Amino acid sequence: MAMRRFGKLGVIHQHADSYSLDYFPIAGQQEAPSIELHPLVVYILSLLDKQWTVEKIVEDLPRHFDIAPEHAQEITDDVDVVFERHFTSQQHEPSGITIDEEAVRTQVRALSQHTPLTTRTTVFKGNRSPFPMTLQWLVTDFCNRKCVYCYQGAPLSSKTEDSSVDIDVIKRLIRETAQLGGKEVLLTGGEPLLREDIYEVMVYALQHGLTPDFISKQFVSVENAKKLAAAGLKDAFFSIDSLEKEAAKSLTGIGGFAKKIGQTVENMVAEGIRVHAKSLLTSLNAHAYTETLETLERLGAHSITIDTYSDNLQRHDDDLHASVAQMHEVRDAVDTFLATQPKLKVYYRSEQIEKDIDYDIDGFVCHNGRTQLLFYPNGDISKCDKKLPGGDMIVGSVLNQSVFEAWNSTALLESLDPPRDKYKGTPCYTCDSFDTCNIRGRCYYGAYMSTGTLYGPQEGACKYMVGVKSVC
C-alpha cells in the first residue's frame, strides 16, 4: 500500500497559539490562500500523515481528550474526507506537517474546556468545510426537452445564450478549486451538456483532478464519449425516466428520446464509463419499468435509481403523482427483474417511511455554502440553485471574485446564519431550535414552498410543519 503524505497542496505552520494551512501559489496568483485550522484537525492530519488508519485514530483520541468514541469517529471521518486531496501517494515527498504533537494535544485540551468536542461544528467553523469541496455551475437555464415535471421550469431552447461566463473564467475557477483541495465540478441546468464547450470544460476539470458530475438527458456522441474516457471519466449520470417509446415521449415532450438516450448509454459503456440512470416514477411511466430495466441491462448500464415524483415550484401537476397501485406495480416489476440476477443495480426509493425529525446537528439540510459553491449562468454566486424571488440569495460573482474570496465573503456567511429578526411573524422567531437550524443549514426553497416566504419553517425539516402540504 502506497504511503499518503500530507503536503501536496500546502504546508501547515505553527504559530504562537494557532495553526495555518498555507497553500502553494498557482500560476497568475499574486497571493496564495491561507486558512486557520483547529488544533484537533492538525493533530488528526499529523496522524494520517504518519500512516495511521482512521480506526486507530478513533481509538487514540479518547485516550488524550474528553471526547466520546462516536464523536471521535465523526470528526476523524470528516477530516479524512475533507482533506483527502491534500495527501500525495509519492513515497519520497517530504511531509507538510512538522509540529510538536504534545503541544497540539495541550492546546486541544485547553480549547475543549470551553467548547466540548462533540460534533464537526467543534473543529469546522460554522459547520462548513474550510473550502468548497464542490464547485457547482448552473450552466444554463435552457433545455432542449419539455419534461412535464421540470423542477427548474427550464425554457425550451437548444441554445445557451444565457451561459455567458467565458471558458477562461471557468478554467480559473477549476484551478482555484483544485488548489484548495476541492473534489468535483457539479454541472447542472437546464441541460448542462448543451453548452458547446462543455466537453472541453469537463476534460480540463479531469486534468486538474476534479471529477465532473452531471445529470443529463442529452445525446453524447461516440467522439465525445471517447474524449471523456481518455481524460479519465469513470461515471456518468443520465436522467432516464423510461426507455419505452411512448412513455418517454409523454414525459420529455420529444419524439425519439428513448432511442437517442439508449444510444448515449451504449456509447459511454463502450468506452468503459459506468452509466447510472436516474428515473422519476410518475403516473405516465409506471407501467413501463419492465422494458426500461431490461433495456438498461442489455445496454450494459451500471445502475438505476428510481425516485417518486414530488411537488415543485415550477411545472407541478398533481396528476403526475403515481397511485399506490402504480407504486406496487413498479415494486413488482423491480422484484421480478431482480429475480433474474441482473448485473444492473436497482435502487427503488418510492416507499416513503415516516421518521421522527432529528434535531441533532448530524447533517446538512443544504450543502450550498457548506461544502459547495454555486454560481449561475451569468456568474452570480447564489445560496440556492432555485431562482427565488428577491435578491437575498445572490451573494457575489465569480467574474470578480476568486473561489477563496467568494467562499469567505461576508455575504455568503450571512446567508448561512440569517438573523432571527428576518423570521418575525413565523414560528421560527420564537423557536428554541433557531440556532440549531442555522448551524444545520436552512432550505430557503423548502421554506418558500411551504409558507410562501424565504424566512420561515420548511416542510419535512421542522416540527411546526409536520403534516403540512406545500403551498405549491
pLDDT tens for each residue of 97-138 = 988 889 999 999 998 888 888 877 888 988 899 999 999 999
Residue 466 pLDDT: 44
Q: Which residues of 127-164 are buried (b: 16+ CB within 10 A; e: fewer)?
A: bbbbbbbbbbbbbbbbbbbebbbbbbebeebeebebbe
- pTM value is 0.92
pLDDT digits (tens, 9 = 90+) for 1-27: 568 899 999 999 999 889 999 999 999
Burial tier of 354 (Cβ tally within 10 Å: 0-12, 13-18, 19+): exposed
Angle at 221 between CA 220 and CA 222, to 5 degrees: 125
Pick from 306, 314, 261: which is nearest to 286 by CA? 306
In percent, the amount of the chain with pLDDT more than 90 equals: 74
Burial tier of 17 (Cβ tally within 10 Å: 0-12, 13-18, 19+): exposed
pLDDT at residue 354 tops 60: no
Q: Round to whole Å and give the CA distance between 206 and 84.
A: 16
Q: CATH 3.20.20.70 occupies which residues in the chain?
A: 134-348
Residue 366 pLDDT: 82
Residue 464 pLDDT: 54
Pick from 309, 283, 293: which is nearest to 347 by CA? 293
Residue 121 pLDDT: 80
Q: Are 377 and 160 in contact (CB under 8 A)?
A: yes
The count of residues in the chain is 472
Residue 2, Cβ neighbours under 10 Å: how many?
Answer: 8
Q: Measure Cα distances from 397 to 106, 403, 411 in Å.
A: 42, 10, 11
Residue 468 pLDDT: 43
Q: Round to whole Å and give the CA distance between 338 and 344.
A: 9
For the chain, what is the mean pLDDT?
90
Residue 460 pLDDT: 60
pLDDT at residue 57 tops 60: yes
Residue whose C-alpha cell is 416513503: 352
Grid cell at residue 5: 503524505
- In the structure, what pLDDT confidence band is assigned to residue 465 with cuts at 50, 70 and 90? low
Domain 134-348 has CATH 3.20.20.70: yes
